[in-house]
Structure 1
């Protein structure tokens, strides 16, 4: 029993929590973001689009249900355990990559329409903060149990754990976003945006202002007169 506990603890510390195990999907996300910013318009062949949707969906379903027999009590060999541990996260990332790319370029069909609903906008803004707080909440909720937790049904898991933890995560994420994420984002914008300076000049229509960047290019010019007062924007 003690050896099993030590093995589980070592697996969690060295494999499950390890940053180098999960970094590949973050790298994939960075590369996808760079591609989407660099290539704004891409034409995708309909056959290629269908094939990649099939491939991406197959990879994601394999990750979801690949351990079905293992969860039913049938042990896997060391080779297949290593394969799943090493490739499951990149495979899931590849599926998400094509889903994102296809929807971005307008080839997502009904999935793109579903993901474009306005209801997802506020949830998307809170998703990162919810990601940060959800795991401590899982630990806290499980820690409230006075007895050992046994799986009885999917409905029991959804009602007792999934829904409460999800609602609490987004509620705390809203507070965290208002108090931390939004103010820090505004401050970052003020500190890191290109510096601009104002230059006064005259033209035939009267005084005006020219706001230029460090290279001297005009980036904004507005004139407004009201009650003989010139307001600068």
Structure 2
């Protein structure tokens, strides 16, 4: 009776190089789809995928992986080669290692907090807060990096004038501002009322002829919301500014 490894090798050699590359491409696409779903629906939920420009990095990571692996298989595959299983194993290890590295880079830059502060929201990424920063959080849920999308929090300025002055001087020196200081994080409900007062109604922007405004109005009307009630507040990320739509009735 032949060992399973020999049977697998014989089955592998029944393919030609184009069939092997096509099969490799199918597996690579499935793996890329799995990674996309994790990022799109778990780590970058709702509109954050586009706001954080995660799509470009994800396309680079998965695109290179999907192309290079099958291409290498197409080049090296020869059913007559004695070391064919070893060659394919090396390709698989290299491909998985490259994908794992890319995914790790994206995980390190995933959003972990959506911070409401003064008159805007700030999207804070995992690699923007050190462990020492998180250790200063006054509540346990604010002292860890979320794996299921950003946690909605508020940030309050310190009560004492000395602490406020120190925060100001730290910011002027280029250190982290209020939105990246977990020691000042509070439940969003504590600052939501004051924050919403700074928003403008979406209907105010109705006369502006801009694709993003039209998309926002269509989005709101599709959900049967009144543009005159929906508020707009700035959303700042590391790379760009965006607008956050808030239904005051839902908080």
TM-score range (shorter-chain normalised) is under 0.3
The structure with the largest alpha-carbon Rg is: 1
TM-score, normalised with respect to structure 1: 0.28
Q: Which has the higher contact order (CA 8 A, sep 6+)?
A: 2
TM-score, normalised with respect to structure 2: 0.26
Whose strand fraction is larger, Structure 1's or Structure 2's? 2
Whose helix fraction is larger, Structure 1's or Structure 2's? 1
